């Protein structure tokens, strides 16, 4: 069985979608704690063996000896979370406990990191090293903390082969993921989703003014990556682990390697809706000032060196698929 924590979330449920539809796997155990009233709908099209609350997982693991991999997507994902104790419990200690269980039982472990660990990007967005990174918020730090802890475990194992680590593992620094099954995320949903809803309601999309010198209105740049590509990359690592094919255990960027502007993103959404682009520029909220990334672009060389050679979906094609095949449908869930 394959465990997917955060299985009712956007990336977790789309990983289950990929395993169902592309690999024919239904031996999935989805783990989550649903807090949004409509989030359960991320599960309705999935085929899986069991659903568990997050607090039931470790008892389940101890009672089952046929776990073949753990895909750990479950976490507090709101970059605006201010309760650091929650971040410690859910993003740090829970992840450490799950890693340790996988190490003890020789089970492959794959987990969600975040591009938020790069902070404002002063050190660039190169996954060759995680040293000297300075996240801008508690969420980013919680992810960075676990990345650091994982690398410490790997270093201990190199010095002492008896130190337990999972037999195969990888962390993925997700950049700006968009696509189906993000509808429960509210403010944290992608700008693509917000554009679709705002245009339906008001006929325009509100984007931030370019408050930083040299940045024009709406021209803040992000590495937007389609959630189906995210699932494809993780499945590549999962299949290698299940086949016992050697891949480098490491932390990998997961973006496209090509930054695009919010203006381009929003314009593509409106075009896919069959509308002429119309954008209104607004001031940045006070709670984001000083904590806002104006540019992200993943360095993708390490992932390519690991053997992943499939092209990433272009922004135009990803937005077209998302809008036409999901958001414009009566049932938008994958």
Predicted confidence (pLDDT) per residue in 242-262, tens digit: 999 989 999 999 999 999 999
Nearest-5° angle of CA 69, CA 72, CA 75?
Answer: 165
pLDDT given at position 2: 98
Of 304, 305, 322, 302, nearest in space to 313 by CA: 322
pLDDT given at position 24: 97
pLDDT tens digit sequence for 149-202:
999 999 999 999 999 999 999 999 999 999 999 999 999 999 999 999 999 999
Query: Following DSSP, what letter does each residue of 41-82 receive, concatenated?
Result: GGGTT---SEEEEGGGHHHHHHH-S---EEEE--S---TT--
The mean pLDDT of 57-83, rounded to a whole number, is 90
pLDDT tens digit sequence for 75-122:
887 777 788 888 888 889 999 999 999 999 999 999 999 999 999 888
Residue 242's beta-bridge partner residues?
Answer: none
Which domains can be identified in the chain, with CATH numbers?
2-180+225-257+297-313 (3.40.50.720), 183-220+258-294 (3.90.25.10)
Q: Which residues are designated catalytic?
A: 139, 185
Q: How many CA atoms lie within 13 A of 297 on its CB side?
A: 8
Enter the pTM of the model: 0.95
Q: Please give the Cα distance from 64 to 247 (Å, whole number).
A: 27
Judge contact between 91 and 139, C-beta under 8 A: yes
């Amino acid at each position: 069985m394959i465990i997917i924590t955060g299985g009712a979330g956007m990336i977790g449920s789309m990983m289950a979608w990929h395993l169902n539809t592309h690999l024919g796997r239904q031996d999935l155990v989805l783990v989550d704690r649903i807090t949004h009233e409509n989030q359960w709908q991320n599960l309705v099209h999935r085929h899986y063996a069991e659903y568990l609350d997050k607090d039931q997982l470790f008892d389940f693991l101890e009672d089952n000896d046929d776990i073949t991999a753990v895909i750990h997507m479950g976490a507090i994902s709101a970059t605006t979370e201010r309760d650091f104790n929650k971040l410690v419990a859910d993003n740090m200690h829970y992840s450490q406990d799950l890693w340790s269980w996988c190490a003890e039982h020789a089970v492959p472990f794959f987990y969600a990191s975040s591009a938020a660990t790069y902070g404002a990007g002063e050190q660039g967005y190169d996954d060759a090293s995680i040293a000297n990174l300075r996240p801008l918020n508690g969420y980013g730090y919680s992810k960075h903390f676990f990345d650091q802890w994982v690398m410490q475990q790997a270093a201990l194992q190199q010095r002492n082969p008896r130190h337990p680590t999972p037999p195969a593992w990888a962390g993925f620094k997700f950049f700006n993921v968009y696509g189906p099954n993000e509808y429960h995320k509210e403010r944290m949903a992608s700008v693509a989703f917000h554009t679709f809803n705002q245009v339906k309601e008001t006929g325009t999309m509100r984007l931030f003014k370019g408050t930083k010198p040299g940045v024009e209105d709406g021209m803040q740049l992000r590495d937007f990556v389609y959630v189906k590509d995210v699932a494809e990359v993780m499945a590549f690592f999962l299949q290698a682990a299940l086949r016992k094919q050697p891949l480098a255990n490491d932390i990998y960027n997961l973006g496209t390697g090509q930054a695009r502007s919010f203006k381009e993103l929003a314009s593509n959404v409106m075009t896919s809706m069959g509308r002429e682009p119309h954008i209104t520029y607004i001031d940045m909220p006070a709670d984001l000032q000083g904590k806002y990334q104006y540019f992200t672009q993943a360095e993708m060389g390490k992932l390519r060196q690991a053997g992943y050679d499939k092209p990433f979906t272009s922004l135009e094609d990803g937005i077209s698929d998302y809008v036409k095949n999901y958001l414009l449908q009566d049932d938008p869930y994958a």
